[in-house]
C-alpha cells in the first residue's frame, strides 16, 4: 500500500512536493528493513535531491536512513557524516515535524557512535532517546522497548 501511495503521489504531484518526500523516505525505510540497501539508498538520495536544501523533517530522516545504509556497508566515517547531518537537520527543521522523529534519529546516531568506538557518546544518545520515548510514546509501545534494549546493550559494553 505504501508503494502504491508513493506511485500515485509521484504521478499526480511534483517530485519535490513535501508529502511525496515523506512517503519516499518511509518507503526507503521499509526497503532497508527488508534488506534492500540499494533501493533504500536510492529513495533517501532522491529525497535529498528533491528537497532543494529545504530544512524538512523528512530530509533529516533521509540522512538518518543514509547513515544506516553506510553502517550496513561498513563505512563508518560516511555514516558519521550522514548521522551528524540528520541530527543537525532535525534541530533546524522548518515546518512539519513529529517530536517522535528525534528519538528515532538519536538511536541511529547512537548506533553510529558505538560503531565508531565512542561508547560513552552512544550511551548518552540512547539514553536521551529512551527518555524522550518514555515521555512521548504509550508505555507499552515497541519504541520504548527498542530504546531500552539499546541502553541495556550499551551499558554492558
Question: Where does the pLDDT of residue 156 fall: very low under 50, low under 70, confident under 90, or very high at 90 and above?
Answer: confident
Grouping H, G, I as helix, E, B as strand and the rest as coil, residue 28 is: helix
pLDDT band, very low/low/confident/very high, at 5 (cuts 50, 70, 90): confident
User: Model pTM greater than 0.75?
Assistant: yes
- Which cell numbers in the block locate residue 69? 545504509
Domain boundaries, the chain: 1-97, 98-157
Digit-coded pLDDT (tens) for 51-68: 999 999 999 999 999 999
What is the maximum span of the chain, computed from C-alpha positions, in angstroms? 50
CATH number of the domain at 1-97, please?
1.25.40.10
CA-to-CA separations, 98 to 10, 26, 60, 93, 105, in angstroms, rounded? 23, 14, 12, 10, 12
Amino acid at each position: 500500500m505504501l508503494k502504491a501511495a508513493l506511485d500515485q503521489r509521484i504521478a499526480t504531484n511534483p517530485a519535490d512536493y513535501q508529502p511525496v518526500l515523506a512517503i519516499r523516505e518511509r518507503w526507503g525505510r521499509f526497503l532497508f528493513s527488508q534488506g534492500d540497501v540499494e533501493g533504500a539508498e536510492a529513495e533517501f538520495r532522491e529525497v535529498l535531491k528533491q528537497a532543494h536544501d529545504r530544512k524538512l523533517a523528512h530530509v533529516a530522516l533521509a540522512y538518518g536512513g543514509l547513515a544506516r545504509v553506510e553502517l550496513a556497508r561498513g563505512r563508518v566515517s560516511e555514516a558519521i557524516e550522514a548521522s551528524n547531518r540528520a541530527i543537525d537537520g532535525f534541530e533546524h527543521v522548518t515546518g512539519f515535524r513529529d517530536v517522535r522523529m528525534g528519538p528515532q534519529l538519536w538511536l541511529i546516531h547512537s548506533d553510529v557512535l558505538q560503531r565508531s568506538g565512542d561508547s560513552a557518546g552512544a550511551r548518552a544518545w540512547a539514553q536521551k532517546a529512551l527518555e524522550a520515548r518514555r515521555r512521548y510514546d504509550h508505555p507499552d509501545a515497541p519504541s520504548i522497548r527498542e530504546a531500552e534494549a539499546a541502553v541495556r546493550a550499551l551499558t554492558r559494553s
